[in-house]
Amino acid sequence: MTNSAQYNIKAIRNDFPILGREIFGKPLVYLDNGASTQHPVQVINAVKDLYEQNYSNVHRGVHTLSQESSELYDNARVKVRGFINAACVHEVVFTSGTTESINLVAQSYARPRLQEGDEILITHMEHHSNIVPWQMVCEQTGATLKVIPISDSGELEMDQFHAMLSEKTKLVSVVQVSNALGTVNPVKEIIDAAHAIDVPVMVDGAQAIPHMPVDVQALDADFYVFSGHKIYGPTGIGVLYGKEKLLNAMPPYQGGGDMILSVSFEKTIYNQLPYKFEAGTPNIAGVVGLGAAIDYVNSIGLSTIAAHEHGLLMYATSKLQAIDGLRIIGEAEQKAGLISFVLDAVHPHDIGTMLDGEGVAVRAGHHCAQPVMERFKVPATARASFAMYNTFQEIDVLAEAIRKTIGMFS
Amino acid sequence: MENLRDLYQEVILDHNKNPRNFRKIEDPDGFAHGTNPLCGDQIDIYLKIKDGIVEDVSFEGAGCAICTSSASMMTIALKGKSEADAEALFNSFHHALTEDDEYPEDVPLGKLKVLTGVKDYPVRVKCATLAWHTFDAALKKLQGNVSTE
């Protein structure tokens, strides 16, 4: 367990107003962080202050408010750069979220390069958002989608990956942490192998970014994508990191304002990075909120958060394993952030409703990863996913609520 | 958790554990496959119709307790009903789960009434109505009206 002298869980919880809520008269136990995390007052206030003090459109007016908003907006990009250690600030493109980031790479990077016979390599544990955009681009180009299989424990079959990687492969897109299994994939090994034959790699970091330090240069990732709302920031804001060389060679994804240098009816000259990919008025409050979320996470430290969450994961795993009739789906050696499980006697949707009755919020369903459900021959799972503010005592509440649920259904 | 007793009544839990008419009908007159793409529930409905009467109805599939028990209780309620009476019962049941006013008493719900507790859990209403919508689709297909749902 994490030493409370090092990890001030009480102070952290006090920063999250919603954690004071009661559900059906019971204290909220929020274990649906994999779907979306809650917001510290520092993020809420950053957005509130922007609207109350500084708000206007960015990169437009010469007036004071526009300048202040632009500065706050641009500063957030600097924070993101530091957070993922990108080489330069303009390698950070703001999008509406992980999904849009992946679609941008699929349409703007992959589509113009793909031909019939080419292959895109993904894994069996991808979220639908890292499957469907590639299916769409394959349909548009005649390329083929190849899927790296996973083992019964929920780990990538790396032998298969190495065998599938070939001169036909034009891009590898892989999730760093599975949202349905919690598996941490060896992305560095994947990137190194792909780069050995000059194949670029996109990493879906949506579930990794809140749980572990990420250094895109150390990874040598060509593209790295994540969402703000899974790291204590607002919804509707996400990041596409791309290597400058690759981003520069890509056409714009959408046309509009801010992404141009000059427009005439004869010729339009596109803006430079990152604005080339940020058409239209951006999600200013979302960006400012994301910047505040990064500041907050940095103030505690991702390594410290990771250690606390690892403790929660170990504790929850042993607690849940001790429950008769409970099966954990996803038993990879390297896991982060979450436990998926099924009960012999109770369907996951009923688990979800029953736990809600005890104030415990978990996700029930296929987690937008239907191929994973099929692989493990379950229609759905229940998922408890952790964040920096969860406590060991909350794991006890979860385990007790599961036991009560089983009791009522058998 | 006791507050959930209204939703998960003993009858519902019993039908969930021991679903009635949970089987395939060979050479059915009517068949439809229903899914709830949001949660992944899947259900197959098989129908035998003779002289406009539901002679036999059964189901297979995987769903939550609400979905399974609703399907199980539906098969019991429908057996022996005319096609018109079956449709009327579907409408009455649907009304009771989705509308605020009282459902029309001229088509009494009988034992199906225990499922009306679902109304207080809006995200679960679809679980209770999936089997019925699928039955409706099977009947309409049989009658020559392909459902565009």
- 3-state DSSP of chain B: CHHHHCCCCHHHHHHHHCCCCECCCCCCCEEEEEEECCCCEEEEEEEEEECCEEEEEEEEEECCHHHHHHHHHHHHHHCCCEHHHHHHHHHHHHHHHHCCCCCCCCCCCHHHHHHHHHHHCHHHHHHHHHHHHHHHHHHHHHCCCCCCC
Nearest to B121 among A346, A353, A380 (CB): A353
Q: What is the pLDDT of residue B149?
A: 45
Give A379's contacts in chain B (Cβ within 8 Å).
40-42, 62-63
Contact B1 A380 (CB under 8 A): no
Write out pLDDT tens, residues A362-378: 999 888 899 999 999 99
Q: Among A299, A327, A344, which residue terminates a domain?
A: A299
For every residue of A40-103, DSSP letters joined together read -HHHHHHHHHIIIII---SSS-SSHHHHHHHHHHHHHHHHHHHHHT-SSGGGEEEESSHHHHHH
Same domain, A64 and A173: yes
Same domain, A218 and A246: yes
Closest residue in chain B to residue A382, using alpha carbons only = B39
Give B124's contacts in chain A (Cβ within 8 Å).
349, 353
Enumerate chain A positions whose Cβ falls within 8 A of a Cβ in B: 24, 346-350, 353-354, 357-358, 364-366, 370, 373, 379-380, 401, 404-405, 408-409
| B34/B42 Cα distance (integer angstroms) | 6
Give B13's contacts in chain A (Cβ within 8 Å).
408-409
Same domain, A122 and A61: yes
Tokens of A129: 């958002």
Average pLDDT, chain A: 96
Same domain, A324 and A369: yes
Same domain, A229 and A286: yes
- Please give the ipTM for the structure prediction: 0.86
| A359/A24 Cα distance (integer angstroms) | 7
Which of A345, A349, A364, A363 minimizes the C-alpha distance to A403?
A345
- What is the pLDDT averaged over residues A349-370? 94
Q: What is the pLDDT of residue A137?
A: 98
Q: Among A299, A326, A356, which residue terminates a domain?
A: A299
Give B62's contacts in chain A (Cβ within 8 Å).
379
Closest residue in chain B to residue A381, using alpha carbons only = B39
Contact A349 B66 (CB under 8 A): yes
Per-residue pLDDT of chain B (149 residues; tens, 9 = 90+): 767 878 898 999 999 999 999 999 999 999 999 998 777 789 999 999 999 999 999 999 988 999 999 999 999 999 999 999 999 999 999 999 988 877 666 788 889 999 998 988 888 899 999 999 999 999 998 887 544 44
Which of A212, A200, A210, A211 minimizes the C-alpha distance to A174?
A200
How close B73 comes to chain A (CA, Å)? Answer: 18
- What is the pLDDT averaged over residues A202-230? 98
Same domain, A354 and A403: yes
Give chain A's length: 410
For chain B, which residues make up each domain, given as ranges?
Answer: 2-141
Q: What is the pLDDT of residue A149?
A: 98
Find the angle CA(B9)-CA(B69)-CA(A368) to the nearest 5 degrees: 105
How close A190 comes to chain B (CA, Å)? Answer: 32
Give B38's contacts in chain A (Cβ within 8 Å).
365
- DSSP symbol at A154: S
How close A356 comes to chain B (CA, Å)? Answer: 8
Q: What is the CATH number of the domain that holds A193?
A: 3.40.640.10
Establish if A263 belongs to a structural domain: yes
> In this model, does residue A283 exceed pLDDT 90?
yes
**DSSP H or E stretch at residue A195:** helix A187-196
CATH code of domain B2-141 = 3.90.1010.10
Q: What is the CATH number of the domain that holds A348?
A: 3.90.1150.10
Which of A140, A161, A164 minimizes the C-alpha distance to A151?
A161
Query: Number of folded domains in chain A?
Result: 2
Q: What is the pLDDT of residue B37?
A: 77
Catalytic residue among A26, A368, A370, A392: A368
**DSSP H or E stretch at residue A302:** helix A302-321
Q: Please check whether residue B40 touches A, CB under 8 A.
A: yes
More confident site: A343 or B120: A343
The residue segments making up the domain with residue A402 are 9-30+301-409
Q: What phi and psi values does residue A93 have, to the nearest 5 degrees?
A: -110, 130
Same domain, A267 and A175: yes
Residue A138: active-site member:
no
Closest residue in chain B to residue A380, using alpha carbons only = B40
Q: Please check whether residue B52 touches A, CB under 8 A.
A: no
Same domain, A202 and A267: yes
> In this model, does residue A342 exceed pLDDT 60?
yes
